[in-house]
A and B are shown apart, each in its own frame.
Chain A
Amino acid sequence: MTQVPTPAPGARKLGLVIDLDTCVGCHACAVNCKEWNTGGEAGILPDYDKYGEQPDGVWFNRIHSYESGTDGHSRTVNFPRSCLHCENPLCVTVCPTGASFKRAEDGIVLIDTDICIGCKLCSWACPYGAREFDEDNGVMRKCTLCIDRIYDESRPAAEREPACVSTCPAKARHFGDLADPQSKVSRLVEERGGVDLLPELGYRPTNKYLPPRQAQIPTTPREAPARPAQGIGAALLQLLDKALSR
């Protein structure tokens, strides 16, 4: 069993805030994540049967689109799913080797694939389905929050964010320190009523989701005239009578 470290006083809680109000479900985050990570320090994210019958592969991030409600007012929700870097990560505590671990300094949950034995206990423990098994290497894989980007001091400060956040065309993904109540992400969660996924399970995910909103324009629509229209109406005639200047 692997211990979850007690966060040091002032430790950061890095994570994502994902805006379901603006996510159009375009898969940019998922593909850019795969692209960044497969060629980087995370190591290859395998693809199986690339051009064959059952194309599949390892992804750190997947998008699910579904409808909520079945009446005329249904809403299509696009839901990106990746590791939530929980504060109470059972995927860590079930790990028999210590391969699955949570960092004390920033809360990121990682896998040390050198000591992962591929027993898959962690993926059974994760209620969010955020871990994917690497069949080629027999080890578990998951989102690293782009740890090789966010701490890379050779990158300009503004670019030290996960690939999924940088690439999101709808600006639906935000990255930051959720332990800091003044951070941009904490304020977003506060203002928009950000929620935990499956809070009742007690995993205390770090990542938050912002619920869809509905903008409205209050008006009083004009009622249909009692009799069908005949020629130009009175309101328009009145307008056309007004002097104009060209």
Chain B
Amino acid sequence: MSAKSVAYTTCYMCACRCGIKVHLQDGHLRYIEGNRDHPVNRGVLCAKGSAGIMTAISPARLRTPLKRIGPRGSGSFEAISWDEAMRLLTERLAAIRAGDPSRLAMFTGRDQSQSLTGHFARMFGTINYAAHGGFCSVNMAAAGLYSVGGAFWEFGEPDWEHARLFLLFGVAEDHDSNPIKLGLAQLKAHGAKIVSVNPVRTGYSAIADEFVPITPGTDGLLVLALIHCLLEAGHIDTEFLVRYTNAHHLVIDAPGSAEHGLIARDAEGRELAFDRDTASLVPGSATGINPALNGTYVLADGRRARPAFALLAERYSAAEYAPEAVAERCGIPAATIRRLAAEIAEVAFRQSVVLEQPWTDTNGRRHAQMVGRPVAIHAMRGISAHSNGFHTCRAIHVLQMLLGAVDTPGSWRYKSPYPKPIPCGVPPGRPGATPGAPLSGAPLGMPTRPEDLLLDAEGEALRLDRAFSWEAPLAIHGLMHMVIARAYEAGPEKIDTLFLFMANMAWNSSMNPGEAIRMLSASDEHGNYRIPFVVVADAFASETVAYADLVLPDTTYLERYDCISLLDRPIGSAHGPADAIRVPVLDPGRDVRPFQDVLIDLAGRLGLQDFADAQGRPLYTSYADYIVRHQRAPGIGPLAGFRGADGSTFGRGEPNPEQLRRYIDNGGFCVHHLPAEQLYYKYANRAYLEGAREMGFIGSSAPIVLQLYSEPLQRFRLAAEGHGARVPPERLRERVRTYFDPLPFWYAPLEQAMSDPARYPLHAITQRPMAMYHSWGSHNAWLRQILPENRIYLHRALAAELGIEDEDWVWVDSRNGRVKCRARTMTGVNRNTVWTWNAIGKRAGAWGLGRGAPEFRRGFLLNHVISEFLPAEGAAAPHSNSDPLTGQAAWFDLTVRLEPCGPDTSDETAPLLGANPLRIRRATENTP
């Protein structure tokens, strides 16, 4: 008689956090399916999630802690006990902390426990902490949080139910996975039009009603041309602008002064507007006024000021943004841009969605209906992965504001607990006064003025990755892609231990893996490594593990507790805040520990505040214990549901010892459903804002004013013009002045602008195969049957021109090197763009794959021809290949040339790095 059981937990085959129902038979996995009650995936499950059963038995799983015994990269390790591993780590980190805590650089990759890992870094006292956002989508996050107080993907979603026109910018297949697919089906069911703006027609773009094969990096120009058309036609929701944005706020026009470009304020600090009814200056927040959106006005002190909208309208009405002026650069005919603008206006203003749902705004005004502009937008990596991505994303948010299509029926909506104040205004934490002291705040924050940056006395970066310095002032997710290069540059005085969790930095997570490997392996004449100590925590034998000095084997997602927290990256939707847990459904059966348990143990051993009591005794026995008992603020903990002694409150409430049990009984998640009157206009919806304040999501229920014009950006620009106490060093002045424009603008992606178009005439980008999540997916026994090797895809016409046929071997050359791969031709691709699937190629010996695996021999990474640095200009050190505002890795700025390899070439990719499989010496016979 076999024993069957069912457990509910959260998937982690990608980052989407779907609810899963796991069927077990005699303790073994039988079947994983979507949880029908779960708010994220509503019962469906993608290919990755359905293949979790094979990841759980992957031969790539690490089995025991490891200590390096051969040279770095050799793969030679000794299996050690957890006692020894923890002792080694604790001794090392305690010594660092006693001297200079910032010599620990902790970068936690695709971490879903950042509220824990960030808190650890804060209490340890190191500013050198971030997760993988800097090479993922910080441009989307930052542009959103600085413009609308939410963001695409993580903090917002289209109103699938009511949208009539959906614009999808760039590759988005990984973020979101199931929610976007469910949404596309909903759009299709009610006949909405889907427009895909993407150089490549695969994935979601395949089912778009219209495919706009844009030239990579020109999306911002297209969006500003659409705005030009809407302005030209007068298709703007001016009522929305004056009610919910800062369009009518007066911008000081005093060139050369320290306040030029800032918002004019009254004595009480309130932003001013001009009321046309009384012909007077009034607070922009006043009701019953008739604010001017155009014109020039004289302030009390005699200076002139203009409504922000007037600046915007003038800029984008200019001929340089006309469709005819941008068409060639974007690769989109002007007539198409004009038609798209007309379709947007048609849907926004003639097909408005009206919900008979009364609501009350923050001024106490009762509205009988909710009126929406059913144009919804989603944007992701195609926008984010360019060095102009911040401004491009901001341009999209400006387009949404001009249409009145922010959190109104049919438009893009906030996922709870967003919106937040814009920007939230909590700056990054600073180092404590003494080595053992915690940072003044969380290591990642949102600077709004130069004073918030983390700079030394010379105005240079305090952080290793140079986040929050003049090189990347708004690097709110850090720059993980730069950490190895910067650690290598800085040397042992600045960095002792590089602690990596869940990111494959010696391979597909690095721009230029060859360089990353060289720097990780570099040593001085005494054999001392330039980066002294590398700790890698991972569940699998990735390419990076071979470069660790100490390996902490993590469990798979089916073998541990986790929380998907409102303090971090929750699973809330437009319908309400929600969070979830993971529970162990399998016994690991090997000597591994959940990374979060290890971190809590480590924090206890180090005696960190909030993790140990005054006597230095650990406060928590495990992550599960921490999830239930830790309080970040009174009544606020990692999980929002079932709080209070009786488990009856959501959001705020004392810890409930039965909380995890309640989550388990509820299917592994908890949703707080917002009442219908709170579902839209959340930035100005009184009932919503008051509820959000009570639950601890926001500090005040004041309206959140959408930032058409970004004053914080202007503050940085003024500093670059020499105003204020903190100004950029001379070499960065012009850069900061140029890019800190308070209104979005388009510039050629930095690498493209420095590249010779005659030598490298093609753009090269990656797309995300829907059945894979980077290197996690491509070692899975089922998923690798679907896509075991990748090709470089190019347009048929281009292929004909270059004499390339399907399956030919070609060289992809860039300024950074060359990679050899096989070609495949297609039609649905921008004529001057080549592309491939992301993260299929692997290094021989890694991921538990056999010798001849196609992933090694024919799979390839475009990363080999990407550099984390821009070309050097003159004698100055090169800039990182990143967005100059946010530090986002500019993966998609790459330009290349293609060249056939000819008939005599080998049947293998290049570069082909030597195999370095793990060779593990067992210390004793008894070691598992």
Contacts and interface: CB of A to CB of B under 8 A. Distances in A.
A236 interface: yes
A47 B850 contact: no
A72 B852 CA distance: 39
Contacts of B50: 28, 31-32, 34-35, 167
A227 B872 CA distance: 42
A70 interface: yes
Nearest to B849: A51
Contacts of B313: 232, 236, 240
Contacts of A47: 781-782, 785
Given A34-B782, A71-B827, A74-B828, A236 B236 contact: yes
Interface residues of B, number: 105
Interface stretch (A102-110, A200-208, A212-220): A212-220
A76 B189 CA distance: 20
A224 B41 contact: no
B826 interface: yes
Given A70-B827, A74-B827, A232-B314, A56 B785 contact: yes
Interface in B219-236: 228-229, 231-234, 236
Given A39-B31, A168-B44, A217-B347, A240 B238 contact: yes
Nearest to B177: A169
Interface in A182-236: 212-225, 228-233, 235-236
Interface string A76-109: 1110000000000000000000000000000000
A243 B290 contact: yes
B341 interface: yes
A26 B179 CA distance: 13
Contacts of B48: 31
A229 B242 CA distance: 25
B226 to A, nearest CB: 12
Interface string A4-22: 0000000000000001011
A132 to B, nearest CB: 12
Given A32-B45, A246-B243, A51 B848 contact: yes
A218 B339 CA distance: 10
Contacts of B318: 229
Contacts of A231: 314, 317
A163 B47 contact: no
Interface in B29-84: 29-34, 36, 41, 43-51, 53, 59
B286 A246 contact: yes
B850 A52 contact: yes
Interface in B386-421: none
A27 interface: yes
B853 A25 contact: no
Interface in B825-866: 826-828, 848-854
A146 to B, nearest CB: 12
Given A26-B771, A222-B342, A21 B782 contact: no
Contact of A31 (B51, B165, B201): B51
B784 interface: yes
Interface of B: 25, 29-34, 36, 41, 43-51, 53, 59, 164-165, 173, 177-178, 181-182, 184-185, 188-189, 191-194, 201-207, 209, 228-229, 231-234, 236, 238-239, 242-243, 248, 276-277, 286-291, 293-294, 310, 313-314, 317-319, 322-324, 334-335, 338-339, 341-343, 345-347, 770-771, 779, 781-786, 788, 796, 826-828, 848-854
Given A52-B852, A215-B192, 16 more contacts: A25-B206, A26-B46, A26-B177, A28-B45, A28-B49, A31-B48, A34-B782, A39-B30, A49-B850, A74-B201, A76-B828, A169-B45, A172-B185, A217-B346, A222-B233, A245-B288
Interface of A: 19, 21-28, 30-32, 34-36, 39-40, 47, 49-57, 59, 65, 67, 69-72, 74-78, 159, 163, 166-172, 212-225, 228-233, 235-240, 242-246
13 contacts: A21-B188, A24-B207, A28-B45, A31-B48, A39-B29, A169-B44, A215-B191, A215-B194, A219-B346, A221-B342, A232-B313, A236-B231, A243-B290
